[in-house]
């Protein structure tokens, strides 16, 4: 969902400054909607091995809705041999993520503005090694449940672009949504729960803990991780 909030001067500059085009792949229309027409491969974004020395065949992680980008940047730093692509509709987050990537001198990350579902419909089958969805909007009201990302219809699109043996990793701090996702994913043909049917995955070390997550845990709030692998 498109959100409009204050954009810092630094993040706003990153949205228009040519120096950040090595990170921000696409432009936006007059309404700020990312133009994704013609993007039919995420691996091709890493084809210029002068700027992206891992090359297009490196393991590829795709993060849907990276927020302000802090955890995505930490993951890219921690695993430099893996390529990362993040997609977001929140322009302040897009700009901020690009600034952080530049500050760290990262060569293994690309940022997209746009609709993740529509983009994945344009990608080849068996294209991505890992897809991650961290702390998505839980759409708490019952009449809005249909907007939740994890649904059988959307998971068909996700699973199609995952490689065999690839991961779909979700995390949420909303208990109702956690059990909603567990039910949808446990009963989705083509995916297997890495922790066993009916179980959540212990928080993996590779997923950075955000300050908001830590604050919630300090207050006694729960966080639930789910990792599913694509069957052969």
Residues labelled as active-site residues: 137
Specify the 3-state DSSP secondary structure of 111: strand
Q: Which two structure tokens, joined as six digits, stand for 55?
A: 């090359």
Interatomic CA distance for residues 46 and 57, integer angstroms: 9
Pairwise CA distance, residues 64 & 149, whole Å: 10
Question: Where would I find the H helices in the chain?
Answer: 9-16, 70-78, 91-104, 116-122, 152-161, 175-186, 211-218
Largest CA distance in the chain: 49
User: From its phi and psi, is residue 81 left (phi > 0), alpha (psi between -120 and 50) or beta?
Assistant: alpha
């Amino acid at each position: 969902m498109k959100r409009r909030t204050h954009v810092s001067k630094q993040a706003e500059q990153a949205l228009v400054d040519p120096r950040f085009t090595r990170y921000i792949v696409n432009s936006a229309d007059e309404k700020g909607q990312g133009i994704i027409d013609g993007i039919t491969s995420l691996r091709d974004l890493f084809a210029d091995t002068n700027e992206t020395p891992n090359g297009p065949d490196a393991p590829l992680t795709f993060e849907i809705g990276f927020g302000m980008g802090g955890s995505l940047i930490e993951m890219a730093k921690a695993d430099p041999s893996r390529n990362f692509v993040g997609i977001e509709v929140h322009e302040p987050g897009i700009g901020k993520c690009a600034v952080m990537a530049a500050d760290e001198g990262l060569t293994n990350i690309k940022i997209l503005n746009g609709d993740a579902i529509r983009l994945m419909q344009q990608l080849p089958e068996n294209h991505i090694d890992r897809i991650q969805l961290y702390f998505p909007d839980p759409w708490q009201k019952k009449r809005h449940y249909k907007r939740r990302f994890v649904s059988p219809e959307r998971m068909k699109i996700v699973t199609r672009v995952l490689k065999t043996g690839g991961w779909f990793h979700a995390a949420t701090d909303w208990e109702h949504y956690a059990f909603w996702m567990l039910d949808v994913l446990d009963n989705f043909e083509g995916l297997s729960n890495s922790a066993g049917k009916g179980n959540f995955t212990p928080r993996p070390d590779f997923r950075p803990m955000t300050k908001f997550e830590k604050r919630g845990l300090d207050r006694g709030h729960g966080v639930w991780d789910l990792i599913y692998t694509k069957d052969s």
